[in-house]
A and B are shown apart, each in its own frame.
Chain A
């Protein structure tokens, strides 16, 4: 869990992840910086794909969750 003190877009949180935990960042984003297609980024209960993508603004108290799609076979 990582806490951010000021409002910023999801993009800022992902860039912070790139700086602080690169191996984890590489699991989330490909080399072009795009969130991998089987991963979902939620702000609280909203998938950012249904809002402004990684430009969705985070407000104080928001919880950012990165969740892989679940599949099997």
Chain B
């Protein structure tokens, strides 16, 4: 099978998928998929058989995760999505970020109000992808989750926060602490091959627009 280039595009009206032959002379556009609500994050998971994910942020019916097993020809709602436990007292407002984690099964999800969710993995991985809160910050939302090796950096979104913001950083055992030192993010980025987060995004296979 000829190699294809797949691009996922999150918009306020759903997720679009563009694909092209490897020379990228022209893209075919499919979509929008989903119920016509904002998609703030998409993910092309190439750790096994490629899976496409999209956050579907529905102000009427709540937050969902869409998944495609056929490279974006169709999307289905995953059977579970991040949710706070009832006694937590908080409700999800948006899903801002989806990132692959360690191994072939782990998936991370940054949300508003500021919390990180992690997939529970195991045989139910394909159905119940997100279940566990692993960290909660003081700020409004978790926007980006750069991950390198087995370390996770999560930082709140910049749009509503001052530059001196709090970053959540995990060690190899996913013990989270907080720091205000952005250089830690760049140090980790160098371990990813010298790319900072912006360049990593620009050279990755993901694009999110509103």
> Does A31 lie within 8 Å of B61, measured CB to CB?
no
Segment with Cβ contacts to B, from A3-11, A34-42, A43-51, A53-61: A34-42
Would A36 and B62 be within 8 Å (CB), given that A30-B91, A30-B92, A31-B92 are in contact?
yes
A27 with B90: CB separation less than 8 A: no
Q: Which residues does chain B contribute within 8 Å of A36, judged by CB atoms?
A: 60-62
B135 in the interface, Cβ–Cβ < 8 Å?
Answer: no
Q: Is A31 touching B59 in the complex (CB atoms < 8 A)? A: no
Residues of B43-68 at the interface with A, using a CB-CB cut-off of 8 Å, are 59-62
Contact of A32 among B60, B61, B79, B90 (CB under 8 A): B90
Per DSSP, chain A at the interface is loop
B positions within 8 Å CB-CB of A: 59-62, 79, 83-86, 88-92
Say whether B60 contacts A31, CB under 8 Å: no
Task: Give the A-B contact count at a CB cut-off of 8 A.
Answer: 33
In the complex the two chains form, is B86's CB within 8 Å of A32's CB? yes
Chain A interface residue bracket vs B: 10 to 19
* Minimum CB distance partner of A23 in chain B: B79
Q: Is the CB of A33 within 8 A of B60?
A: no
- The smallest C-beta distance from B150 to any residue of chain A, in angstroms, reads 29
B61:A33 contact, CB within 8 angstroms:
no
Q: How far apart sit A39 and B60, CA to CA, in the bound complex (Å)?
A: 7
Q: How far is the CA of A63 from the CA of B91 in the complex (A)?
A: 29
Q: Which residues of A contact B88 (CB under 8 A)?
A: 31
Residues from chain B with a CB closer than 8 A to the CB of A32 are 84, 86, 89-91
Q: A30-B62, A36-B61 are in contact. List 5 more A-B contacts (CB 8 A).
A: A26-B62, A31-B84, A31-B92, A32-B84, A68-B61
Does the CB pair B86–A33 fall under 8 Å? yes
Q: Is A69 an interface residue (CB 8 A)?
A: yes
Bound-state Cα–Cα, A69 to B59, Å: 11
30 contacts between A and B (CB under 8 A): A26-B62, A26-B83, A27-B61, A27-B62, A30-B62, A30-B91, A30-B92, A31-B83, A31-B84, A31-B85, A31-B86, A31-B88, A31-B90, A31-B91, A32-B84, A32-B86, A32-B89, A32-B90, A32-B91, A33-B86, A34-B91, A36-B60, A36-B61, A36-B62, A38-B59, A38-B60, A39-B60, A68-B60, A68-B61, A69-B60
The chain A residue sitting closest to B59, CB to CB, is A38
Complex CA–CA separation, A42 to B35 (angstroms): 24
Q: Which residues of B contact A34 (CB under 8 A)?
A: 91
State in angstroms the CA–CA spacing of A28 and B92 once bound together.
14
**Which residue on chain B has the smallest CB distance to residue A38?**
B60
In the assembled complex, the CB of B31 is this many whole angstroms from the nearest CB of chain A, namely 20
